[in-house]
Amino acid sequence: MEATQILLIEDDPNDVELIQIALDSYNFVNKIDIAVDGEQAMHYLFGRNGLPPTQPLPRLVLLDLKLPKINGIQILEMIRSSPRTRNLVVVVMTSSAENRDLKVCYDLGVNSYIVKPLDFKQFVDVARQVGFYWMMLNHLPSLD
């Protein structure tokens, strides 16, 4: 069985809850880990104080850009520059529709960039579609 773990890097508790609601309705995700700021995300992915990470790599990273401590673009940059994480699927889900953010993310190798809908139902539908596509339909090489 392939990994069905998602890392959600999101500081807005309402968005975290909506994404969890969207993905919990499917049986293809067995674990959603949450990092509420960039520093937590970096510790999760790269370890801390010289120690390796305690978690296996997730199959999918859902990344907000506007985060406390370390922003999403810096996290994406670190993910793509490390041999361990460079092939992780990273989907940016953010409220920013700025072309500059879009361009920087694609230049850094993001897999997908989604602007969060403001409408509750649309937001849940989008999160569900993103999860379904990247967890069920997309095929990935082994990351280990």
Give the whole-angstrom CA distance, residue 90 versus residue 92. 6
pTM over 0.85: yes
In tens, the pLDDT along 130-141 reads: 888 877 788 777
Is 67 a domain residue?
yes
| Residue 17 CB coordination number (10 Å) | 11
Domain that holds residue 55: 5-137
Is 100 a domain residue?
yes
Terminal-to-terminal C-alpha distance of the chain: 14
Number of domain units in the chain: 1
pLDDT tier for residue 113 given thresholds of 50, 70 and 90: very high
pLDDT of residue 55: 82
Give the whole-angstrom CA distance, residue 116 versus residue 97. 9
Block residue for tokens 């990344």: 63
pLDDT for 119 beyond 60: yes
CATH number at residue 30: 3.40.50.2300
